[in-house]
Amino acid sequence: MFNQTLTQIGAALRAKKISSVELTQTYLDRIATHNPAFNAYVTVDAKTSLAQALAADKLLASGSAQALTGIPIAQKDIFCAKGWRTTCGSKMLSDFIAPYDAHVIEQFNKAGAVNLGKTNMDEFAMGSSNETSYFGQVRNPWNEKAVPGGSSGGAASAVAARLCAAATGTDTGGSIRQPAALCGITGIKPTYGTVSRYGMIAFASSLDQAGPMAKSAEDCALMLNVMTGFDERDSTSLQREKEDYTRDLNKPLAGMRIGLPKEFFAEGLSADVGSRVQEAIAEYRKLGATIVGISLPNTRLAVPVYYVLAPAEASSNLSRFDGVRYGYRAPEYTDLADMYEKSRSQGFGEEVKRRIMIGTYVLSHGYYDAYYLQAQKIRRLIAQDFTDAFKQCDVIMGPTSPSTAFNLGEKGDDPVQMYLSDIYTIAVNLAGLPGMSIPCGFGDNALPVGLQIIGNYFDEARMLNAAHQYQLATDWHTRCPQL
């Protein structure tokens, strides 16, 4: 049952083969058994989840169920959910009970889905290994010595270990796609502005975007149908017609032009990852796609640009944590300034403090033009590279991450090496484009490899089509670790 698609689970619920309460309890039992090993969940609240399941069963009985009604979904602990502890992986919010629902949570509630629990993550979504969480590292279900990726590492681990039917994530520089790749699951970061950021704790507001993480492209399409939509409470939410992201899943791929950026296959890419990606491309050829060589010449600048812009926005966003209205306050202090400084120093972890420091520096007087403004100008060059590339192709493909999952502790002491592991994903956020990762085999160490698919603005349905057709022809997405 744990390997069934959302469509199959939904059908079983509607046919009364299983109730939502039974299904939810089965997942809760599985979490109780396996979560101690993986630490994928930070908060589980069986009583609340089962109450939601009971309500869903009533909807199912009345015949007014929607696609996800009664299905247990894991929520990244970055989304405020009313009455739920919402920590963002930080000591700063370790006791924070959210007083309202994020738009994403509202959407799942309206759909009748069950909130199965809150998943672990890098603190304030800053990290690529889930090692910066205040609540401890998450382990990769394929190998407990390996990282699950980050920042949505708990979500990726939970989906891979089948500890939920599907999960939500957020992606500022690769935080959905990189953990999806490292844990062998499917995840999509939609076009910036497609999913409301209301109630999603901010990291870098011009880059943050929520999306689904699931077992397949088809499941991601169903999740996206629920998560997207205009929300006036997010000033960057786009006013667009509601889309059905499943509409193109079954289109044949004949004639689809796939662009391969030469910069994604150069030095720095592990040989095993490169081979698996090339094999996936060969499969796409068999499916009728045409392969086009393209160039994204400013790729190497994406990491430096990101590590100016994201910390700059973070230093501003995280200034709200001052120990006054909510969050951690130091137990002892002498005056107001001392209270601010001690509360922030004790409440934030090392990586968060590091990024606040970078951001404060690049925005400070005398350095603004050299760093922040220069980074914004190069951001335009990077976005323009994609605009030019999409004149020659329909989607772009390449590796999601330069290597398979690295070991816990391996890059912990070297922030620069950790930052470079996001080299293929970051440019997509800078441009605001949609990107996804699908499993395409295993590396030399038997850990999963992810294929990245990048689409033009609002081209999620086409990307999901490409992903789904590949998943019909291959079975990598059905592989899961033996627990």
Partner 1 sequence: MIPYQPHLYKAFTMSLSTADVQKVARLARLAMNNTEIEAARVQLSGIFELIAEMQAVDTTGIAPMSHAQDLSQRLREDIVTETNQRELFQSIAPQVESGLYLVPQVIE
Catalytic sites, residue numbers: 76, 151, 175
Q: What angle do CA 123, 125, 129 make, to 5 degrees?
A: 80
Considering only residues 1, 11, 271, 381, which one is a binding residue for partner 1 as defined by CB under 8 A? 381
* Stretch of residues binding partner 1 (CB under 8 A), selected from 73-81, 159-167, 182-190, 357-365: 357-365
Q: What angle do CA 264, 402, 159 make, to 5 degrees?
A: 120
Binding to partner 1 (CB under 8 A) within 11-50 occurs at none
150 binds partner 1 (CB under 8 A): no
472 binds partner 1 (CB under 8 A): no
Of 2, 398, 396, the residue nearest 181 (C-alpha)? 398
Buried/exposed 136-150: b ≥16 CB within 10 Å, e otherwise: ebbbbbbbeebbbbb
Of 37, 48, 33, 39, the residue nearest 2 (C-alpha)? 33
Q: How far apart are the first and last CA of the chain?
A: 15
Considering only residues 268, 274, 443, 481, which one is a binding residue for partner 1 as defined by CB under 8 A? 268
Considering only residues 356, 393, 426, 447, which one is a binding residue for partner 1 as defined by CB under 8 A? 356
Residue closer to partner 1 by CB (options 217, 356) is 356
Considering only residues 44, 419, 445, 481, which one is a binding residue for partner 1 as defined by CB under 8 A? 419
Binding to partner 1 (CB under 8 A) within 169-198 occurs at 192-193
335 binds partner 1 (CB under 8 A): yes
Q: Are the CB atoms for 229 and 242 separated by under 8 Å?
A: yes
Binding to partner 1 (CB under 8 A) within 193-222 occurs at 193, 206-207
387 binds partner 1 (CB under 8 A): no
Binding to partner 1 (CB under 8 A) within 55-74 occurs at none
SS3 458: coil
Residue closer to partner 1 by CB (options 270, 376) is 376
**338 CB-side CA count, 13 A:** 5
* Stretch of residues binding partner 1 (CB under 8 A), selected from 132-140, 234-242, 437-445, 466-474: 234-242
SS3 338: helix
Binding to partner 1 (CB under 8 A) within 99-118 occurs at 99
Edge-to-edge strand order for the sheet containing 186-189? 41-43, 114-119, 72-76, 166-171, 209-214, 186-189, 435-442, 448-455, 395-399, 257-261, 290-294
Q: CA–CA separation, 19 vs 13, rounded Å?
A: 6
Residue closer to partner 1 by CB (options 328, 406) is 328
Nearest distance in Å: CB 42, partner 1: 18
293 binds partner 1 (CB under 8 A): no
Of 318, 397, 301, 389, the residue nearest 355 (C-alpha)? 318
Residue closer to partner 1 by CB (options 4, 360) is 360
* Stretch of residues binding partner 1 (CB under 8 A), selected from 22-30, 140-148, 180-188, 302-310: 302-310
* Stretch of residues binding partner 1 (CB under 8 A), selected from 28-36, 376-384, 447-455, 472-480: 376-384
Nearest distance in Å: CB 398, partner 1: 11
Considering only residues 7, 48, 66, 236, which one is a binding residue for partner 1 as defined by CB under 8 A? 236
Please tell me whether the peptide bond between 151 and the residue prior to it is cis, using omega within 30 degrees of 0: yes
CA distances (Å), origin 209, targets 66, 71, 197, 223, 238: 25, 23, 7, 14, 12
